[in-house]
Amino acid sequence: MSGLLERLGVELPVVQAGMGGGLSLAKLAAAVSDAGGLGTIGFVAPDRLRAEVSAARERTTRPIAANLLLPFTRGPHWDAASTADVVVTFWGRPRRRTDRPWLHQVGSLEEARAAVAAGADGLIAQGVEAGGHVRGTVPALDLLARLRRELPEGFPVLLAGGIADAGDVARALDAGADAAVLGTRFVLSEEANAALAYKQRLMESRETVLTELFGMGWPARHRVIWNEAAERWLDRDGRQPRWLSAAQWASGPLVGRLPMGASARLAASQTPARPFFGPFAPTADGPSNLLDAGALYAGESVARLHDIRPAGDLVRDLARAA
């Protein structure tokens, strides 16, 4: 495992990905960290982010990470995230605005170079298999090999995408990753704040689609499972009508700048018949329309996941062959 994680006191090479919009909060992050992995609070409004970090600290004395999605990050987000032990960023132009150890998730060699030049302490290499928003265009292990050839020996690189079990974690470590980063597996944990019906859909699903359908306010590729909105508007390859892409790009700057409360209210009015789909996923405390009219994010590993388990058990199990 990387010196970076060891110095922080993370015992096991298992990291739970930050999942925004209220999917990964204190309960999940603390359960992962308490079991010896590194749990991450997902991107939420600054006050809530700060409150979730502090709630996680009440549940565990182990290190906690906070995730920021850079296109939507302002100064107060950095301040709130810096109350965590590690800041993990994704998307957009990487820049250091924290004195905490800083990891940036990348999908290519070019993005890795930009993050290293900006002073990142480590990288997460994201493969195309990943769930959620996807920068990767090649399988995770291929990207890792490219980064390892390019980066100085010992530079921390974690691996994300397609990791479901202990065998996958062991393969990632053998290939030179410092730790494994998992999103989809942890959505299927008891502590994840995803709606139960979303978790149930994941357990039944075998197939994902890479699309831009849920791109109102954030026109970007993401991997989801099929639901009514996706069936209605996408072809089998995940392509949406061209006019919809044009509408997303035209309205992106405006819709993307809405405060989170306003975006959440818009999300609550989404229906499968009206193609105005923002990036929100169904949470346990959110509106139920998002099950058929929102993004059911999942990576390709969903085909191999069929149970909901306590996050601490998952961490111990995933690290068993490490």
Ligand X SMILES: Cc1cc2nc3c(=O)[nH]c(=O)nc-3n(C[C@H](O)[C@H](O)[C@H](O)COP(=O)(O)O)c2cc1C
> Exactly one of 301, 305, 311, 315 binds ligand X (CB under 6 A); which one?
301
> Exactly one of 297, 305, 311, 319 binds ligand X (CB under 6 A); which one?
297
- Cα torsion at 152, 156, 161, 163 (round to 10°)? 120
Which lies closer to ligand X via its Cβ, residue 23 or residue 234? 23
43 part of the interface to ligand X, by CB under 6 A? yes
**Strand 86-90 vs strand 157-160: parallel, antiparallel, or unpaired?**
unpaired
Q: Show the tokens assigned to 67.
A: 């995730």
Query: Least Å distance between CB 224 and ligand X?
Result: 9
DSSP at 300: G
Between 249 and 268, how does the x/- string for binding to ligand X read (CB under 6 A)? --------------------
Which lies closer to ligand X via its Cβ, residue 207 or residue 273? 207
The SS3 of residue 204 is helix
12 part of the interface to ligand X, by CB under 6 A? no
Structural element, H or E, at residue 221? none
Query: Least Å distance between CB 59 and ligand X?
Result: 21
Q: Show the tokens assigned to 22.
A: 């209220």
Which lies closer to ligand X via its Cβ, residue 250 or residue 278? 278
What are the distances in angstroms from CA 243 to CA 107, 231, 301? 27, 17, 32
Structural element, H or E, at residue 66? strand 64-69
* Amino acid in position 28: L
22 part of the interface to ligand X, by CB under 6 A? no
> Exactly one of 17, 80, 158, 267 binds ligand X (CB under 6 A); which one?
17
189 part of the interface to ligand X, by CB under 6 A? no
> Exactly one of 105, 189, 193, 270 binds ligand X (CB under 6 A); which one?
105
Query: Least Å distance between CB 234 and ligand X?
Result: 18
Query: Least Å distance between CB 21 and ligand X?
Result: 7
DSSP string, 245-262: HHHHHHHHHHHTTS-HHH
215 part of the interface to ligand X, by CB under 6 A? no
Nearest to 233 by CA among 262, 271, 281, 203: 271
Size of the site for ligand X (CB under 6 A): 32
**Strand 122-126 vs strand 157-160: parallel, antiparallel, or unpaired?**
parallel
What are the distances in angstroms from CA 265 to CA 141, 258, 261, 268, 291? 39, 11, 6, 5, 15
Point out which residues pair with 160 in neighbouring strands: 126, 181
Between 149 and 188, how does the x/- string for binding to ligand X read (CB under 6 A)? -----------xxxx-----------------xxxxx-x-
Which lies closer to ligand X via its Cβ, residue 57 or residue 199? 199
299 part of the interface to ligand X, by CB under 6 A? yes
67 part of the interface to ligand X, by CB under 6 A? yes
Cross-sheet strand order for the sheet of 132-133? 132-133, 222-225, 208-211
Residue sitting closest to ligand X (CB): 183
290: phi then psi, degrees, rounded to nearest 5: -70, -15
Residue ranges in contact with ligand X by CB under 6 A? 17-20, 23, 42-43, 67, 69, 90, 105, 126, 129-133, 160-163, 181-185, 187, 281, 297-299, 301
